[in-house]
Amino acid sequence: MSAAPAVASTPAAAGSTTSRVASIDIFRGLTMLVMIFVNDVGEVKGLPWWTHHAHAQQDVMTYVDMVFPFFLFIVGMSMPLAIERRLRQNPSHLALWLHVGLRAAGLIVLGLILANADKVDPARVGISGAAWALLGLTGGIFFWLVPSRDPRYARVYRALRIVGLILLVIVFAIFRRTAESGNAGWIDGSYPEILGLIGYTYFAIALLYIPTRRWLWAPLVWFAALTAFCALLTAHHIHVEGRIPLYFWPFSSGAWASITMAGVVTSTIFLGTHRWTRLRDKMVLALAFAMAMLAAAGLLAPLGISKIRATPTWCLASEGASVLAFMLLYWICDVKSRTRWAAFVKPAGENTLLTYLLPDFYAYLTALLGFTYFETHFHAGMAGVARSAVFTLLILAVASVLTRWRVRLHL
């Protein structure tokens, strides 16, 4: 999830040099901005229905329901670039798979901390859920902190990494919750939060993409297969008894994986090595891909439109919108080199994991301190929206300052 250095030829470089793809970082940063805002404004009362996630029973989707798909799409866009870069540094496939596994595990670990904080039984653990989560997040930040290039601080960063690992082990070791039976239970892995879902999906896509990455059409074939699987499962043409845990089947219903694979296809179109080198060809291919997905979304509309139920129409509509949004950003940011307008969100796109954790860090810290002012003030109507907007800007500002101070997280 964190912004892995994306090495690819930009239009300005004409294939002679390598640099970050600005549109990916900015797309990720804009998505983070909206994600932070909708998560906070979701607690505001008295707002129209379209400002919240649609309920599972509703056959509709709101703009809020498209935020998670946009993020999954960007994960897919970044994957071919990150894998290519890692193989250039070290051609060992064993090392690559070790990195993929550890990265997925890191996201799942952080996701489980966020998902289980509210389930902590203080009587069994000895500390509140907020304190437990803060210890876990602090451990994660210490462990995945990008070390300074200055060799003078090597020991400091090594010590922080050790302390971080110890904290992570401790929070998982001491965790206890009260199960439905009334007995003590350990970590609940049934829902690993957004970070965990991204971790499982990232690993699932790696299983498909890495072995077949040299085949130009492989991502499109995988995308079609995942979409078909999602549609057949939703239409009950495929029956699965019970719910298969994600650690056994990280593809889940195929919905999240199909969105991420759509990002891989789009990355291949714009940044891959193939015969379509002209910008016009890339744009035409991407537009055709987007229109095909939107058309398929309409055809599959009878299966329902729902994020909660992860229907194929929700996936395809979000994927089509993601491709169109990236096309626009690619034209503005990489072709025209106009990026100054996005300077405020770009640090969030480059230092995404830390930016993602900041709102949770704030929530647990205020809960620990007993700060409840905003639970009774600025919590409804336009005043609540204004509060959420200010909160979002403050989080992005903090992320920008921390990034400037080279406080970065990288899995």
pLDDT of residue 18: 41
pLDDT at 11 over 50: no
pLDDT score at 13? 35
Q: How many CB atoms lie within 10 A of CB 353?
A: 21
Q: In this predicted structure, what is the pLDDT of residue 4?
A: 39
Distance CA 79, CA 86 (A): 11
Can you give the pLDDT at residue 349?
A: 93
Residue 61 has pLDDT above 60, yes or no: yes
Cα–Cα distance for residue pair 222/220, rounded to 1 Å: 5
The pLDDT of 138-163, averaged and rounded, is 93
Q: Mean pLDDT of all residues in the chain?
A: 91
Residue 34 reports pLDDT greater than 50: yes
- Asked if pLDDT for residue 17 goes beyond 70, the answer is no
Q: Summarize pLDDT for 166-200 with one digit per residue, the tens.
A: 999 999 999 999 988 889 999 999 899 999 999 99
pLDDT for the residue 9: 35
In this prediction, residue 337 has a pLDDT band, given cuts at 50, 70 and 90, of: very high
With 0-12 CB in 10 A as exposed, 13-18 as middle and 19+ as buried, what is 384? buried
Reading the block at residue 377, the tokens are 């003030």
The backbone torsions φ and ψ at residue 57, rounded to the nearest 5 degrees and listed phi first, read -80, -15
Indicate the pLDDT class of residue 149, thresholds 50, 70 and 90: confident
pLDDT of residue 19: 57
Closest CA to 21 of 105, 65, 82, 67: 82
Q: Are 258 and 222 in contact (CB under 8 A)?
A: no
Say if residue 8's pLDDT is above 60. Answer: no
Beta-carbon count within 10 A of 244 CB: 13
Q: What is the pLDDT of residues 342-393, one digit of tens each?
A: 999 999 999 999 999 999 999 999 999 999 888 888 889 999 999 999 999 9
Q: 264-312, pLDDT tens digit by residue? A: 999 999 998 887 889 999 999 999 999 999 999 999 999 999 999 999 9
Task: Tell me the Ramachandran region of residue 147: left when phi exceeds 0, alpha when psi lies from -120 to 50, beta otherwise.
Answer: beta
Q: pLDDT class for 31, splitting at 50, 70, 90?
A: very high
398 — pLDDT class (breaks 50, 70, 90): very high
Structural domain boundaries in the chain: 22-121+176-404
pLDDT digits (tens, 9 = 90+) for 109-135: 999 999 999 999 999 999 999 999 999
Mean pLDDT, residues 60-69 taken together: 94
pLDDT digits (tens, 9 = 90+) for 185-241: 999 998 999 999 999 999 999 999 999 999 999 999 999 999 999 999 999 998 876
